[in-house]
Structure 1
Amino acid sequence: MASKESEAVRRHWESVREPKDQLERERADHRWAELTTEPEDVDYLAVPGRPALWIVPHGAATDRVLLCLHGGGYISGSRYSHRKLFAHMAKAVGVRALVFDYSLAPEQIHPVQVDEAVDTYRWLLDQGIAPEHIVFTGDSAGGGMSITTQLRARAAGLPVPAGAMPFSPWIDFEASGSTYDSNRDTDSFFHRDLVRGLARIFLGPEGSPRDPSVNPTYGDLTGLGPIYIQVGADEVLLDDARVLAAAADKAGVDVRLDVFPGMQHTFQMAAGRAPEADDAVRRMGQWGRKVLGL
């Protein structure tokens, strides 16, 4: 049974609706951010010339970085909605984190978002951070981008990072997974028609849901670093996580999948409040430290 603190995540998903305009997006971001406590001993530093924040836990390693890709269905979310969550994760790993804003749909559609993520990764490499000292992480749409950005970056001639930690990753833009049916009554917000509608907004009239930079399981995952996936057992995107894990394993990638009983989509947003979220962040911290050699 989910803790009473985790029930706040369920109530959040029950209360939100698809944002209609920029004001509604900003309000949704604030409601999202309210789920997460403000972690202690963390500084946030603006990045001159870029829509990004450095998240700097006190005493963190300066030569290793989490590159953070926020979720929001490609229509919402920002560095502000997710900064506290990624700060908890950065503290758990003991490194700095970089969280940035990418363009949102429908004003900008695929592949703008993944190209901006590649550009941010390139910028990070240009700052002197070695690829083996970078781990990508992200939730939902950002979780999918933590893999598609690697494929896009590799195609552009960039080295792949040390690994990735996607949680509740959204990769199936056709919403074909069986858990859309089996978890229909346990997921508090998402359902097949909603997800397909978000996919249409993001892809536009020309985009394909089977583009490897949209759904990485249609690409070649061979040679990627280790992947650690977390997902809630009650969410309809459970099969997205399972399919991604199976594809990575088939490609010879070291992959770990943890399914959390009774949990909703991106339940980690309750970090600092809910024991399940804190346990998930702790696990990511342990995994991330190992992959980054800390």
Structure 2
Amino acid sequence: MIVPDLVVSPLLRAARANAGFLTEKGARRLLHERTLRPAAFGPPRRLRRDVGISASHNDAGWPVYTVKPRNGSARGTVIYAHGGGWVNDIAPQHWQLCAQIAAEAHTTVQVMIYPLVPYGTAQHVVDNFTAATVNAERMYGPTVLAGDSAGGQIVLSTVLQLRERHDLTLPRTIAIAPAVDLSMKNPFIPTVQLIDPWLGTKGTQVFIDLWKGALHVDHPTVSPLNGNLEGLGPITIFSGTRDILNPDDRLYAAKAADAGVDVEFIQIDGQVHVYPLLPTAVGRDARATIMERVRQAVHAE
């Protein structure tokens, strides 16, 4: 089902989607609820019939789900980091995207269920995504990192570590509305905040303070915008202008281009946060682009 684009923002506001991000009080209420009653993270029972899913645990004890196409052979892999403000677990929309990638790009998708705040921290999580990527390259061959929102921050910080620690460059990284500067100091953010129906700075700051752990908020493992971007592989970034993360995403894309990175910045006016995950025509077109970029990366000769 395709939802008309014009109803997305009113629906988000009616559902109070930003309740946990707009104010500090709302954030602490959400943190308490998620800590007290963790959400289920397993795949929906009714997903695509043309994919199979298996479960395991990595060396850190995290659940790892592997999604594979049932028909034909799979080549390469995608490691996906879900969004949710570092406090919310994986949602059905994430699972649907991962299943679509596996089926339509004919690849294996690994979904890592990483620890959330107040237990998870940026360094611990990025270290494990780094190790998983090195292992995936050995096991599956061409590997793509992909993630949305908080997960976009994780993958963009991970590619920095892969280059610095392992001299490893990926054939493609896909970041959907990534959080790239957790200082939230961009002067254009307050203006965008007025039209963003989903995110907020004051509540998000509560989660950032926990997520950064012992690191300074400007450290590239927390804020990949501050890293040295030279030598990174191709990056595709999706961003909408009704998203408080958009001003920093624009800065990241410009900095990456200046550093010689093959960066594809897909910005659509009027779109909200993580629009490629939404059941709209614009979201459908964005997902088609994701499928094509993954196919190009994992099936390249």
Q: Normalising by structure 1, what TM-score?
A: 0.85
When structure 1 is superposed on structure 2, of 252-261 and 209-218 the one drifting more is 209-218
5 Å-filtered alignment, 1:108-187, equals 108-126=120-138, 128-130=139-141, 133-157=142-166, 159-187=168-196
Q: Deviations over 1:69-91 (max 9, x none)?
A: 11122222238773222222333
Cα-Cα RMSD = 2.7
What is the rounded CA distance, in whole Å, between the counterparts of 1:90 and 1:233 in structure 2? 29
The Cα of 1:16 is off from its aligned counterpart by 5.0
- Among 14, 18, 39, the alignment partner of 2:17 is 14
CA contact (8 A) 1:46 1:54 kept: yes
| 1:279 equivalent in structure 2 | 285
Amino acid in the other structure paired with 1:285: M
Please list every run of 5 or more consecutive structure 2 residues that lacks an aligned counterpart in the other structure. 21-26
> Could you tell me whether the CA contact under 8 Å between 2:234 and 2:262 is conserved in 1?
yes
**How far, CA to CA, are the matches of 2:201 and 2:91 in structure 1?**
27
Partner deviation per Cα, 1:45-90 (whole Å, 9 max, x = no partner): 2135551111113336422111111112222223877322222233
**Cα distance between partner residues in 1 of 2:16 and 2:292:** 29
- Counterpart of 2:71, as a letter, is G
SS of the counterpart of 1:156? helix
Distance 1:4 1:79, change over 3 A: closer
The alpha carbon displacement at 1:282 in A equals 0.4
1:236-273 alpha-carbon deviations (Å, 9 max, x no partner): 11112111111211110000111123222112332xx3
Output the CA distance in 2 between the equivalents of 1:233 and 1:79: 23
Deviation by residue 1:166-198 (Cα, 9 ceiling, x = unmatched): 010001111122442222222113222223222
Paired residue total: 283
Structure 1 gaps, min length 5: none
Letter in 2 for 1:107: Y
The 3 A distance-change label for structure 1 pair 60 and 7 is farther
| Residue 290 of structure 1: how far off its partner (Å) | 2.2
Secondary structure of 1:256's aligned partner: strand
Aligned residue runs from structure 1 range 260-271, under 5 A: 260-270=268-278
1:1-294 map, 5 Å: 2-4=5-7, 14=17, 17=20, 18=27, 19=30, 20=32, 21-26=34-39, 38-47=47-56, 51-59=63-71, 61-78=73-90, 82-126=94-138, 128-130=139-141, 133-157=142-166, 159-204=168-213, 206-270=214-278, 273-293=279-299
Question: Hey, what's the Cα distance between the residues in 2 that align with 1:179 and 1:100?
Answer: 33
* 1:182–1:79 Cα change, 3 Å: closer
Contact kept, 8 Å, 2:80 with 2:145, in 1: the verdict is yes
Structure 1 residue matching 2:296: 3-state secondary structure: helix
- Determine the C-alpha separation between the residues in 1 that align with 2:97 and 2:281: 14
Instruction: Give the conservation status (yes or no) of the 8 Å contact 1:175–1:195.
Output: no
Structure 1 residues 134 and 252: alpha-carbon distance in aligned structure 2, compared to 1, 3 A threshold: same
Deviation, 1:9, is 5.4
Q: In 2, distance between residues paired with 1:92 and 1:232? A: 25
Distance in 2 separating the partners of 1:282 and 1:244: 23
Q: Secondary structure in 1 aligned to 2:292?
A: helix
How far the C-alpha of 1:11 sits from its partner, in A, is 5.1
Q: Identity, % of aligned pairs?
A: 23
Residue 120 (structure 1) shift: 1.6
Could you report, residue by residue, the CA deviation over 1:204-261 in whole angstroms, capped at 9, with x for unpaired residues? 3x32111111222222211111100001221111112111111211110000111123
